[in-house]
Amino acid sequence: MRKSLITLSIITALLAGCGSDNDKSKETAEIANTSPQSMDVTYNVAQAIQITGQLEGTDAEGNMTFSLVNSDDVKLGVFDITDASTGQFTYVTDALEGTETISFKVSDGESESISTLTIQITGGDPLYPHQWHLSNTAQNSFAINRGVAGEDMNVNEAITSGVKGQGVIVAVVDTGLEINHPDLKANVVSGGSYNLITGTVDPTSLNDGYAHGTAVGGIIAAAGWNGMGGRGVAPEAKLIGFNFLDSDPDGVENAQSFENFVMSHGATAYSDSARVFNQSYGYSVPFPDLFNENETEVYAETTVNSFDGKGSIFVKSAGNGYNYFSYGGVYWLPADYFTARDEGKAANNGLPFHNSNMTASNADVYNLVVSAINASGELSSYSSVGANIFVTAPGGEYGTDFPAIVTADRSGCDKGYVISADRPNTPFHGGDHPLNLECDYMSTMNGTSSAAPNTTGAVAMIMSANPDLTWRDVRHILASTSTKVNADKAPINVSLSDTQEYEAVPAWFENAAGFSFHDFYGFGRVDVSAAVKAAQSYETDLGEYVLTDWINSAVDLNKTIPDASLVGVSDFIEVKNDMIVEAVQIQLSADHLRIPDLAVELISPAGTRSVIMTPYNGLVYQGVMDTNNTADIVTGYVDTPMLSNAFYGESTKGEWTLKLIDVNSGEYSFMRYNIDTVEIENEDSGQLQNWSIRFHGHDAESKS
């Protein structure tokens, strides 16, 4: 009994000792596991410039996690904790100004500490949130309907990296440029512009209603973060202006002479400071067009030889004639334009009435031709298209039903497109909107006239990111980085008969060099941030530029073009030189008394097929020509130039095939609006007379 008691006492003592040791361990553990501590943090940010920041917190053991107390605290921008263990975060906002007060906590799993992140938003542009082309958040931009989020040029990452167009001068060749516009004057080169009519350094249009050039200048380089208006694609690029499209209000003088072309397109000291030229202008003709050889020489000289051989870029609008175009003061349209529209169908077999290759200057390789895309990521309803398109860029629709581009207008409510005397066509116009009380801005700028300056701004950003790039390097970057849009767009076919269909506009295709191409979009929509990133790390060597001589077919082929037959007629030219293609041009001579029946194809040795002229086009002058006037007769194509970018990166070596296909043996009519409807009689067959081809590119030995 006594033994049992003694044993029990020892066990009790041992248990008591163990308990005492455990208490000391817990006490030690409690001392080691200190609570984390957080601290208040403040950051200043500017609109649309992403910051990378750091939430502040400490823990003696270093085992902590950062998180938000309530994600609903973030009201004005996008906040993301990129590393929960360190508290690193990113934040970006479209807001002009304001304050974000965000509670965050740091936790070690047992305890936590809460502090406040304050983000002060200062410096922005009140119209930037409406500029969907820069950042598409599905805003309506003062139109009735919204766009689709994400369908934009992806500018912000480039801006965040510090590239804003610095060091690049852009020439706006247009109706003029209001150099004292409040949102442009900070970026205008003092004394750098020229008025081609008055001879002064102020290129502001002589016509109060002309605002086109000022709107273009705003798209390119409206000043950023100045608390007014919107922002340009390249908000710190510099502008010079030329009123090449202007005229004396009295009608005495027009600026569009060849002498003024030379002065405004880089061939004289008036404009040779510019590395990028924006040409938001063009023309459409209902008959086959020819190069202006004098202008082509200016384009070539400035493009290739300026800036110590680095060269310059000419950006040009493709045209706005998909549905109809104006020539000689008259609108020319497909005959079924109104009936098809009333029935909810596509007129003209769904094909472009103005193929951009119909305008010879658009077939000039030294013009980087741009089509227009809308806020939903599809071809703008009016945009001309063709194999000569290099890229597409935002042009929008008309700004009433669907978004157009928000940009600068002539300042004041008595000049430009937006004047208080007019009934406003959007809530933004007319001088009553709080963001536009002085009528300095507009929300209805559209057309390939808008797509071109969006591309011009992108080119300025690329050159700013890497000033050593040549004109060909810039084009290569655009071809390599542009975004494939509307990827599921189906081809457009036309019926020859119940059993025959012709693919007149192919779907997206990949050429033999791996470049994706579409006649609507070229290599795709410009992606500014991707292009800038590529420019910053650019190492591609394109070698010496080579422009070949014209390689000619037989002079008199006299090959019959069968009527309404997919067989068509083909001819081949064997090319022995091994070059890498950067562009291909042809010249075509073919007799046919109903040109719109003809599709023109070029097929490379690698098998890539490019439709360089679509059928059912607006080359309809044969319906109204004066057959008694030899000078007025159009027999078909005569040395007509056309351009394709579809073969970019392929080899020249091998057999190039030209093919002409007649797609229509039935009726064909067109309209001259408010004048007449004209039927052109069918010609059973035509003849391919001759053709020639030349290549722009570099030797295959060059690294690319």
Tell me the pLDDT tens digit for each residue of 374-407. 999 999 999 999 999 999 999 999 999 999 999 9
Of the pLDDT bands very low, low, confident and very high (cuts 50, 70, 90), residue 422 is: confident
* 239: three-class secondary structure by DSSP: strand
Quick check: 9 pLDDT over 60? Answer: no
Report pLDDT digits (tens) over 84-132.
Answer: 999 999 999 999 999 999 999 999 989 999 999 999 999 999 999 999 9
**What is the pLDDT of the chain when averaged over all its residues?**
94
Tell which CATH classification among 2.160.10.10, 3.40.367.20, 2.60.40.10, 1.10.10.10 matches the domain 37-121.
2.60.40.10
- In this structure, the strands spanning 654-662 and 598-603 are antiparallel
**What is the structure's pLDDT at 11?**
32
**What is the structure's pLDDT at 203?**
98
**CATH number given to 128-319+354-486:** 3.40.50.200
Task: Give yes or no for a contact between 338 and 345, defined as CB atoms under 8 angstroms apart.
Answer: no
Report pLDDT digits (tens) over 566-618.
Answer: 999 999 999 999 999 999 999 999 999 999 999 999 999 999 999 999 999 99
Quick check: 15 pLDDT over 70? Answer: no
Close Cβ partners of 655 (under 8 Å, ≥ 6 residues apart): 572, 573, 574, 575, 605
Of the pLDDT bands very low, low, confident and very high (cuts 50, 70, 90), residue 32 is: low
**What is the structure's pLDDT at 702?**
56
Which phi and psi angles does 384 have, rounded to 5°?
A: -65, 150
Quick check: 199 pLDDT over 80? Answer: yes
**What is the structure's pLDDT at 421?**
78
Which phi and psi angles does 405 have, rounded to 5°?
A: -105, 130
Of the pLDDT bands very low, low, confident and very high (cuts 50, 70, 90), residue 62 is: confident
**What is the structure's pLDDT at 258?**
97
Distance of CA 236 to the CA centre of its chain: 19
* 219: three-class secondary structure by DSSP: helix
**What is the structure's pLDDT at 683?**
84
- Record the pTM: 0.93
**What is the structure's pLDDT at 127?**
98
Segment 342-352 mean pLDDT: 95
Q: What sign does the CA torsion over 535, 539, 544, 545 have?
A: negative
Angle at 324 between CA 318 and CA 325, to 5 degrees: 60
**What is the structure's pLDDT at 251?**
74
Quick check: 14 pLDDT over 60? Answer: no
Domain 543-699 classification at class level: mainly beta
Report pLDDT digits (tens) over 630-662.
Answer: 999 999 999 999 999 999 999 999 999 999 999
3-state secondary structure 642-658: EEECCCCCCECCEEEEE
Q: Which residues are catalytic?
A: 174, 212, 449
**Percentage above 90 pLDDT, the chain:** 90
**What is the structure's pLDDT at 18?**
39
Domain residue ranges of the chain, discontinuous segments joined by +? 37-121, 128-319+354-486, 543-699
Quick check: 254 pLDDT over 90? Answer: no
Q: What sign does the CA torsion over 260, 266, 269, 275 have?
A: positive
